[in-house]
Amino acid sequence: MNEVVIVDAVRTPIGRYNGALKTIRPDDLGAVVIEALLERNPNLPPSEIEEVIFGNANQAGEDNRNVARMSTLLAGLPVDVSATTVNRLCGSGMDAVIQAARAIAVGDGDVYIAGGTESMTRAPFVMAKPEKEFPRGNMEMYDTTIGWRFTNKRLEEMYGADTMPQTAENVAKRYEITREEQDEFAYASQMKAKKAFETGRFEDEIVPVKYVDRKGNEFIINQDEHPRPNTTKEKLGKLRPIFKEGTVTAGNASGVNDGASALLLMSAEKARQLGLKPLVKYVGGAAAGLEPAVMGLGPIYSTQKLLKRTNYSIDEIGLVELNEAFASQSIECMKQLNLGEEKVNVNGGAIAFGHPLGASGARILTTLIHEMKKQDTNLGVATMCVGVGQGISTLVENI
């Protein structure tokens, strides 16, 4: 098996819903991070790239018809560089990295670009075709930004069709996680993010996004838009819960966001040939399933499977990026994995930054890698829950 290394990792700033990135298509966002990898690594001839693998969770709008291929062409890569899009919902971007690493390991190619792109702002409304011609009555339309659509009734009878906030409430209720605990966790995420911005912690990973408005004015977006550095525990405590008598609020949940991220993977031998210095070694990846109603616990099972597969213990892991879909599930995942606060999301998490679905897995892995280099941490894990009951995790080793 070939040794797999990650040479570079970048991401766009994360845009707020209907915010700074609202005019930029998801395929264009994907092209931005691909182009950035090429610019940052001039020793890499584009012709050496075997394939681009991108994750995307929506695929109902401008990200339809294999968005990875569209981003590849928009980035100016040779037409013979193939591309494919994967969909594991929230875990799509991480799944793309794992698939690329496995392909390199078995010799299917030496160089891959993997990541994800998502514009939740630009997600379309959709409706099904009628089953008979000229139907009467109102037609049902879905907002594809997030959540179920065209639900299989048989599946719903078997497992339910809880919304994402409902699954977070299920976790909070099952494990008796209070509103105060969730708000405290959310506040800590925002404060860590504030400190990280003030100290320039993300300068190595963020690449600017340029766009031109209808009047021809050019704008450059180079900073995450979602964090709320001025929030307080009191403000968080005043937010209404999403459900009556519930504990999950907009303040202790991740956002609805836009963004893209990409990583450059290759065999260790190819990196040596090209004179490129790797950041980390890819050690392994794993996914696991669980009951959809508590999908937020997925990182527990995928991380346990990953550590068993790679013969490491949780105590040997120096840093962890745990995607904060919701505070409730993050708290319980940390508890069951025996993860101390000092090693998890040290620069804040998705509650502060936001969660652009198909890009988030690649984003948290990118953030993890750059923080490992700064702290000289030996081993790091990126992990996240996935809608409809899954978890996915990746382990990397510093070089």
Catalytic site residues?
A: 90, 355, 385
CA distance linking residue 201 with residue 223, whole number of Å: 11
Q: Which long-range contacts (CB under 8 A, 24 or more apart) does 76-83 make?
A: 76/35, 76/46, 77/34, 77/38, 77/46, 77/49, 77/52, 78/46, 78/47, 80/47, 81/46, 81/47, 81/49, 81/50, 81/51, 81/52, 82/50, 82/51, 82/52, 83/51, 83/52, 83/53, 83/54
Task: Check: CB of residue 247 under 8 Å from CB of residue 178.
Answer: yes
CA distance linking residue 51 with residue 111, whole number of Å: 7
- Residues 6 or more apart whose CB falls under 8 angstroms from that of 112 comprise 49, 50, 51, 52, 53, 100, 101, 103, 104, 264, 265, 266
- Please give the C-alpha separations between residue 10 and each of 94, 225, 233, 235, 290, in angstroms, as whole numbers: 14, 17, 32, 33, 31
CA distance linking residue 105 with residue 295, whole number of Å: 30
Pairing state between β 319-322 and 379-386: parallel
Rg (CA), the chain: 20
Task: Check: CB of residue 14 under 8 Å from CB of residue 224.
Answer: yes
CA distance linking residue 282 with residue 260, whole number of Å: 21
- Residues 6 or more apart whose CB falls under 8 angstroms from that of 185 comprise 252, 324, 327, 330, 331, 351
* Nearest in space to 58 (alpha carbons), one of 141, 119, 142: 119
φ/ψ (deg, to 5) at 352: -85, -50
Identify the DSSP state of 350. H
Taking the CA atoms of residue 20, residue 23, residue 27 and residue 28 in that order, the dihedral angle to the nearest 10 degrees is -70
| Single-letter code of the amino acid located at 95 | D
Count the alpha carbons within 13 Å of 254 in the hemisphere toward its beta carbon: 29
Element (H, E) at 386: strand 379-386
